[in-house]
Amino acid sequence: MQQHIRIKICGITRPEDAVCAARFGADAVGLVFYHASKRRVLPPQAAEIVSALPPFVGTVGLFVNESAERIGDILAQVPLDVLQFHGDETPEFCRQFRRPYLKAVRVRHADDVCRALRDYADARGVLLDAHVAGEYGGTGQCFDWSLLPQDLAGNWILSGGLNPHNITAALAQTGAAAVDVSSGVEAAAGIKCPHKMADFIARCRQAHHRL
């Protein structure tokens, strides 16, 4: 039976954008806690976004080389379902919070993908993102999808530079069962565009149906 494609809209900073994403059918929303991000949210703002969501929409907190203490502090204030790590966090670091986690990997070589899937075997998923020097994520850049091994096994998520214009080709080429988008559905950094979110989600569902 064809699986329902999983869609996460990342870099949400406003409750109304989270509500919109959920209404259009997003499975999860991402909240960036990285201090240097243009999409950074503070814990009270994140808690307000989470409380605006309807049931059964997942909440994912993003961190970059954050201290365990700070992450624990945020977890005490914001009900996050999943943690997503975008820095140099080791598997031991990621699993200490006893929550499902995702590990982002910035893909430059085919080996990067297989190594991440092996090293983070207990992750809920490995998020495959673009490599941009000096950036940890949310760049709006694609990586070379042809680097992905054919019939790649495991729980991986296609990310990096996806948007309503390229999502159909991305799914046809990679066969991804889960996708993550931020810049490609924005009107400005941290401000999501309802039309782009609706278009992206509709095209995802259509394209996945054809696989």
Ligand X SMILES: O=C(O)c1ccccc1NCC(=O)[C@H](O)[C@H](O)COP(=O)(O)O
Q: Binder to ligand X among 25, 91, 140, 175 (CB under 6 A)?
A: 140
Q: Binder to ligand X among 33, 34, 101, 120 (CB under 6 A)?
A: 34
Please confirm, yes or no, whether 119 is among the known catalytic residues. no
What is the secondary structure of the chain as a DSSP string? -PPPPEEEE----SHHHHHHHHHHT-SEEEEE--TT-TTB--HHHHHHHHHHSPTT-EEEEEESS--HHHHHHHHHHS--SEEEE-SS--HHHHHTT-S-EEEEEEESSHHHHHHHHHHTTTSSEEEEEE--TT--S---PPP-GGGSPTT--SSEEE-SS--TTTHHHHHHHH--SEEEESGGGEEETTEE-HHHHHHHHHHHHHHHHH-
Which part of the chain contacts ligand X (CB under 6 A), choosing from 18-26, 34-42, 44-52, 91-99?
34-42
Please confirm, yes or no, whether 10 is among the known catalytic residues. yes
The answer to whether 13 contacts ligand X (rule: CB under 6 A) is no
Catalytic residue among 10, 20, 94, 204: 10
The answer to whether 205 contacts ligand X (rule: CB under 6 A) is no
Residues carrying an active site annotation: 10, 129
Binding residues vs ligand X (CB under 6 A): 10-11, 30, 32, 34, 37-39, 62, 64, 86, 129, 136-140, 159-162, 180-184
